[in-house]
Structure 1
C-alpha cells in the first residue's frame, strides 16, 4: 500500500493509521493496489456552514 500524508496543525493527528488499513484490507482478502492520501480539509468543520471547502496543499 502506498501512503501519502500532509502535515497537520500542531496538536492534531489523523485517526486512520496506514498499518490499520493495510491489516484490515489483508484480513478481508483485498488484493488490489491501494493508495491512501491523508490531508487536512474543511469537510467536517462545523464553523464554515454547509458545503465542502478543500484544503489547498
Structure 2
C-alpha cells in the first residue's frame, strides 16, 4: 500500500508538491500510488495530476 499526502499552504505548497510529484514520476512511482490525500495548495496539483491521467491509468490493477 502506497499513499501520498499533499499538504496545504497556497501557491508555495503547490510548488513544493509539484516538485515532489515530479520526483516520484522520475522514479516511475506514480502508478504505484494507491491513495492520494490533498488539501488547499496540494489539492491544486493533486487534482491536476488526476485530471491528466487516463481512465485506464486510474483503474485498479487486477
TM range (shorter): 0.3 to 0.5
More helix by proportion, 1 or 2?
A: 2
Higher radius of gyration, 1 or 2:
1
Could you tell me the TM-score, scaled by structure 2's length?
0.31
Could you tell me the TM-score, scaled by structure 1's length?
0.33
